């Protein structure tokens, strides 16, 4: 196993994904594409932006592998590519699991503290 090279490979892909997701317009475009493919003109519609400006965002998303272009020569509809998003989400999910496990242990600690206070009200710790 070569964890380092594997980590770097994954890392550069994820860098592109997270960079693409950092922009609110690009996130909105992805949200729109989640409900089906759309042409550049259709994607530009809800934004106060020119088609060239939207095209720039689409290029970033395409480079990150988050979207692809359809074969229809006229419309070249863009569609969502799910895999990189799922990958980014998987990392977020690992982070979440780490903290969920921490907080479940913290719940247990708090229950114990509450019980201690309830059973020994006279020895309650004084605030300094």
Comparing CB distances to another protein, the nearer of 53 and 113 is 113
Comparing CB distances to another protein, the nearer of 41 and 98 is 98
| DSSP 8-state code for residue 49 | S
Give min distance, CB of 65 to another protein, in A. Answer: 13
- Dihedral over alpha carbons 69, 70, 75, 77 (to 10 degrees): -60
Give min distance, CB of 68 to another protein, in A. Answer: 16
Taking each helix axis from N to C terminus, what angle separates 24-33 and 51-63, rounded to the nearest 10 degrees? Answer: 80
Nearest to 24 by CA among 50, 55, 47, 40: 47
| DSSP 8-state code for residue 38 | B
Q: What's the full length of the chain, in residues?
A: 128
Give min distance, CB of 25 to another protein, in A. Answer: 14
Comparing CB distances to another protein, the nearer of 70 and 91 is 91
Point out which residues bind another protein (CB under 8 A): 1, 3, 6-7, 10-11, 14-15, 18-19, 22, 83, 86-88, 90-92, 94-96, 98-103, 105-111, 113-114, 117, 127
Taking each helix axis from N to C terminus, what angle separates 51-63 and 3-21, rounded to the nearest 10 degrees? Answer: 160
Give min distance, CB of 59 to another protein, in A. Answer: 19
């Amino acid at each position: 196993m070569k964890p380092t090279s594997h980590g770097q490979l994954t890392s550069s892909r994820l860098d592109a994904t997270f960079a693409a997701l950092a922009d609110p317009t690009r996130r909105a475009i992805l949200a729109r594409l989640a409900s089906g493919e759309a042409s550049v003109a259709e994607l530009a519609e809800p934004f106060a932006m020119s088609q060239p400006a939207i095209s720039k965002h689409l290029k970033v998303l395409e480079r990150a592998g988050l979207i692809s272009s359809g074969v229809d020569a006229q419309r070249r509809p863009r569609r969502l590519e799910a895999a990189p998003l799922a990958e980014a989400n998987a990392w977020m999910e690992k982070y979440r699991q780490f903290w969920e496990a921490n907080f479940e242990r913290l719940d247990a600690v708090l229950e114990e503290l509450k019980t201690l206070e309830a059973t020994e009200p006279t020895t309650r710790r004084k605030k300094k």
